Amino acid sequence: MNKWLSIVGIGEDGLEGLSAIALSLLNQATIIIGGERHLAMLPPDHQRQRIPWKSPFQTSIDEITNFRGKSVCVLASGDPLFYGVGVTLLQHIPISEITIVPAPSSISLACSKLGWSFTEIENLSLCGRPPSLLQSYIYPGAKLLILSEGQKTPEIVAEMLTNRGYGGSKITVLERLGGSEERILTGIAATWNETEIAALNIIAVDCIANDGVLPLSRIAGLPDHAFHHDGQLTKREIRAITLSSLAPLPGQLLWDVGAGCGSISIEWMRSNVKCRAIAIEQNSQRIGYITDNAQVLGTPNLQIITGKAPQVIQDLPTPDAIFIGGGVTAPDIFDICWNALRPGGRLVANVVTLEGEQILFTWYHKVGGNFTRIAIQRAEPIGKFLGWRGMANVTQWVGIKAVF
């Protein structure tokens, strides 16, 4: 089929900023779809149909697909494939039917104003997303560019930085980039008090930690005190080894069965922004810990399920990896998890009891895998001296499901 749909990026400078190709596609279209702000940039023309975005957004997507074969132009902000409508449309319409002409993205424009190299920044969007996503991006020296939800977002970001111990961070808010009403505001997180801010803005943050603040690494093995817990916590050293055994890759899904305070699933998601996880826990108090930890540590999209694993995991999405940290003696738990695991996926289980080891050994005879005994000692005070105190030994089994 011919390319009937064009997606044209447009900036604050309106039609004047469009390339000849973009203008040609726009002028040829009989149907133009976009936001009210973008449609208002067009000259009066009663011959062509103009359609604003509808709510829910899926309604507009369905409407566009029904126009297949007609000449349709979608106006998008900046680069349509940078957190834009182009990403969504490509999930429904193949690229063979689409022509995309981007304008400079807000990130590119911001970098040009700040003198920041695109390769040295971290970027994220808080448009329609939980602000606590920011938590996993904060570290000393980080340069962040944040797509804002609206005029209140800079205040939220400033408060979050201050509470985290990064109150000295420099904040720059860039409004209406590329247009005649462009404006740039600067300040410090701890004393940020700007309230008259345009809804269309992007936030730049130069992260500066207060003296004495200990940064949280994205590498597996956060300090135990980083988590709110009641003792049901996979300790730091064991957790780092366990995450290494689980071997997360971008886009993969983990089931954290018997999640405790959620430390494994949270660190799995912190390893890469595309990693997904489901934490399964039956204890209601620990569900509260998981929720709090996910917010504070920047993984608010962690899916949390309350209930006993054998009953609640039957209809969950197919996992790429499964961790069983509690409840290995539950009837049929291994059979259910192993059957649910995708071919090539891996199941990791940690136990500290002989009964747990018996179950793992039985399972080893069924499907193979490998065992590791993990013994950790920590130096702790003995009177006025230091001595070694051993943690409970952990037996870890790792099984990789065969690909048939």
Q: What confidence score (pLDDT) does residue 47 get? A: 80
Average pLDDT of the residues in 151-167: 97
Report the C-alpha gap between 155 and 161 in whole angstroms.
10
| Cα atoms found within 13 Å of the Cα of residue 245, Cβ hemisphere only | 26
Pairing of strands 377-382, 385-390: antiparallel
| Cα separation values, 30 from 43, 50, 57, 93, 222, Å | 14, 9, 21, 19, 56
pLDDT band with cut points at 50, 70 and 90 for residue 231:
confident
- Check whether 285 has a pLDDT greater than 90: yes
What's the start-to-end Cα distance of the chain, in Å? 37
Q: What is the pLDDT of residue 232?
A: 86
For the record, the structure tokens of 122 come out as 């971290």
In what helix (H) or strand (E) does residue 154 lie, and over which residues does it extend?
Answer: helix 153-163
Taking residues 252-281, what's their average pLDDT? 96
- Is residue 108's pLDDT more than 80? yes
Pairing of strands 346-351, 394-400: antiparallel
Q: To which residue do tokens 């726009």 refer?
A: 26
* Helices within 71-152 (DSSP H only): 85-89, 106-114
Within the chain, all domains assigned CATH 3.30.950.10 are found at 107-206
Residue 404 has pLDDT above 80, yes or no: no
pLDDT mean across residues, the chain? 94
Evaluate the CA torsion angle 9, 197, 88, 253 in order and state its sign: positive
* CATH 3.40.50.150 segments of the chain: 224-400
Mean pLDDT value across residues 204-221: 95
**Could you confirm whether domain 224-400 is CATH 3.40.1410.10?**
no
Which pLDDT does position 308 carry in this prediction?
86
Which one, of 400, 323, 324, lies nearest residue 368 by Cα? 400
Q: CA nearest 309: which of 344, 270, 335?
A: 335
Report pLDDT for 251: 96
Taking 90 as the threshold, does the pLDDT of residue 326 lie above it? no
Please report the pLDDT score of residue 1 as a whole number.
64
Residue 329: pLDDT band (50, 70, 90) is confident
Question: Mean pLDDT, to the nearest integer, of 155-164?
Answer: 97
43-47, 140-144, 359-363: range with lowest mean pLDDT: 43-47
Give ranges for CATH 3.40.1010.10 in the chain: 5-103
Q: pLDDT at residue 45 above 80?
A: no
CATH dotted code for 5-103: 3.40.1010.10
The larger pLDDT score, comparing residue 278 to residue 232, is at 278
| CA-closest candidate to residue 184, choices 162, 165, 203, 167 | 203
In the predicted structure, residue 311 carries a pLDDT above the cut 90:
no
Mean pLDDT value across residues 105-123: 95
Length of the chain measured in residues: 404
- pLDDT computed for residue 235 by the predictor: 95
Amino acid at 79: D
Q: Quote the percentage of the chain above a pLDDT of 90.
A: 91
b/e map of 61-84 (b: 16 or more CB within 10 Å)?
A: beebeebeeebbbbbbbbbbbbbb
b/e string for 353-372 if b means 16 or more Cβ within 10 A? eeebbebbeebeeeeebeee
Angstrom distance (rounded) from CA 322 to CA 337: 7
| Mean pLDDT for the stretch of residues 239-251 | 97
- Whether omega before 104 lies within 30 degrees of 0, making that bond cis, reads no
The amino acid that residue 363 corresponds to is: W
Residue 278 is encoded by which pair of tokens? 């489901």
Write down the architecture of domain 107-206 according to CATH.
2-Layer Sandwich (3.30)
The Cα–Cα gap between 280 and 317 comes to 13
Give residue for tokens 């920044």.
Answer: 121
pLDDT number for residue 216: 94
- How confident is the model over 120-127, as a mean pLDDT? 95
DSSP tag of 122 = E
Q: How confident is the model at residue 223 (pLDDT cuts 50, 70, 90)?
A: very high
Instruction: Report the 10 Å Cβ neighbour count for 231.
Output: 6
**Angle, helices 236-246/263-270, rounded to nearest 10 degrees:** 60
Average pLDDT over residues 147-159: 96
